[in-house]
Structure 1
């Protein structure tokens, strides 16, 4: 069940939430995901009241037998007892009781006969400026569901989770990307804990709030679908050393420069003992020989992460170490952006010469064209 509030009478509008609901419903119905029939994916957009939400939620909970997933996107409010209230279109910042108490939703999920329960919260906790969503670890603890998995987009108040002008909220946008394109270098199945770790890396690299998760029992092993970017094992007939996976691979720790990053990738290829053609074959053709050559000889940081994990996995680097490489790449990307911003001259300094030129031109034309005092 997908619940979302994008229009509000007394709070900032969140137009991206409407897109979240439409695209997430479509993604969950894909054959590579859960392949849900449309009637099993209930979408409740801008519900008028708590009664409407709870009626639909109880109906969905009663019918679910395998897995019950409840997703909410919109504003979140904190009442005087530090309890979470999910905002509805008529909710008011100074009247937090006008929202849907999270405890209502939580208890209904707990009472459901489904074997597994998942709650995903992409909501703000504070009625701040447009697009700002925030939260604290205590809220995530409060929202925990025993025997299930909770994934919450909660972080510091100084970061925006629904940036104006973007199609989706930051958290759900990255979740949709995982469902559609997969996780390069990730496992064959999109297990919740693997998705959570990936989202933390991606959102952290963009300096956006990092999600939090709480797992009870085996909830972390629940898969949202197939990983479309999964790298299969060696092709039939490809000769690969039996100890490839157990080798001590060059690690990305300590890398400080782009040159060091590329040099360490070259070390990985040499350690694998594979030619560039063999690496391409091991990838199932997902990365060409030319792309490998470009990756290992470039002087700049790869703009996207896609080629690097494919190369590393094809060489035989374990998934856990591929995640370490991702963190190193993300750190370099952030440092490059900071350096570029630091060397960019202030706008007013750029404008000064033009201002002086314009002033001189005005003085000149004033002298030439002046016919009488004004």
Structure 2
């Protein structure tokens, strides 16, 4: 199971919210805005603006069919067609029609989009993509399942049809809901919620079957019309979205409680580093101070003879102090390096430390600085040595 290639796929989102003779559906405009935003979101599908066509208030059935046909020629992976608006039934043929702006409330339906015409475009010879998804959010939309999108077998072969899925807001006898006060219609609102939040399943992708089951459970819990779905061949495995719930968990990789514990551990290590560094600096100053004090005491009170002081000249004393200072700085640097490694392990970062923070470099620099300071000290206090 893999995500449909956003670069080789196309989506056509059609919506009619204002009518001359039918009740307005203001939520439809939000439907298109919400779905197009999710389809173009990198964390959901990742379509580009060019690959996601929004057709709001189309002027005629021909405009709708031309737009879909153009997208079907461009798509080489998956084609998604979505319609939101009123659905009408031909009282003579019992066929489904998709209402457009000028559709009358009753009577002639020639100003509406006949679903059979839409179906024929989707299975026509111009279709290059092997996978197609049709989503209908309108009254009586379940009637689209009667014909499906299979077509005759020979037509399917010529059109290179492999997988096709039809997802509808209702069955063939129910009206779709557009709850007052809600930003979306009932069906599309649930679809937007599922795509935005993800589904609690053991999969990083949402195929059409997982999507349908999530919609069914969500709408059933809200006592709203139940969606219907028909899959041809393996169309239930078509994936249009990443599972945001699994994506979020994989990004975080730890629970909020564990994350807080990690932050606390990092803070404790930072405090420990400062304590170790302070102790090392204190030890260095103490050793240097004691050594200098002993030297001054021996020189001032003649504890050692002049020959002994000459024997213990800076030629021997300085290397001793430089070595001890270098060892102490090496220990400090090692503690710092271990803290950095622990911090990266706990925080998940992988960053190479700059060479200036390496223990050996720090020890050498510290030793050279201490040697210079010692030579200055002896040159100032004991110019005769």
TM range (shorter): 0.5 to 0.7
Cα deviation for residue 61 of structure 1 reads 1.3
**Cα 1:202–1:90 shift into 2, 3 Å:** same
Partner of 1:81: 93
Partner of 2:130: 115
Mark the runs of 5 or more structure 1 residues left unpaired by the alignment: 126-134, 236-280, 290-374
Match for 1:10 among 12, 15, 21? 21
SS at match of 1:19: helix
Cα deviation for residue 113 of structure 1 reads 1.0
Match for 2:189 among 173, 183, 203? 173
CA offsets 1:197-251 (integer angstroms, 9 cap, x no match) = 111001001000110000011111111221111289999xxxxxxxxxxxxxxxx
Matches within 5 A, 1:214-293: 214-230=230-246, 284-285=254-255
8 A contact 2:206–2:239 mirrored in 1: yes
CA offsets 1:83-119 (integer angstroms, 9 cap, x no match) = 1101001101212232100111111111211111110
Partner of 2:145: 140
Partner of 1:104: 117
Q: Confirm or deny that 1:53 pairs with 2:67.
A: no
SS at match of 2:123: helix
8 A contact 2:137–2:176 mirrored in 1: no
SS at match of 1:82: coil
SS at match of 1:168: coil
Q: Confirm or deny that 1:199 pairs with 2:212.
A: no
SS at match of 1:209: coil
Within 2, Cα distance between the matches of 1:198 and 1:207? 14
Mark the runs of 5 or more structure 2 residues left unpaired by the alignment: 1-11, 152-162, 260-385
SS at match of 1:180: helix
Partner of 1:212: 228
- The TM-score, its normalising length taken from structure 2, stands at 0.56
**Cα 1:157–1:101 shift into 2, 3 Å:** closer
Partner of 2:165: 149
**Cα 1:234–1:91 shift into 2, 3 Å:** closer
**Cα 1:214–1:77 shift into 2, 3 Å:** same
What do you get for the CA RMSD once the two structures are aligned? 2.7
Cα deviation for residue 158 of structure 1 reads 7.0
Within 1, Cα distance between the matches of 2:118 and 2:174? 28
Cα deviation for residue 160 of structure 1 reads 5.3
Within 2, Cα distance between the matches of 1:105 and 1:88? 14
State how many pairs are aligned.
234
Within 1, Cα distance between the matches of 2:138 and 2:256? 37
Within 2, Cα distance between the matches of 1:288 and 1:74? 47
Match for 2:102 among 69, 90, 108? 90
Cα deviation for residue 75 of structure 1 reads 0.4
CA offsets 1:143-202 (integer angstroms, 9 cap, x no match) = 444630110111486775111221001111111111111012352211110010111001
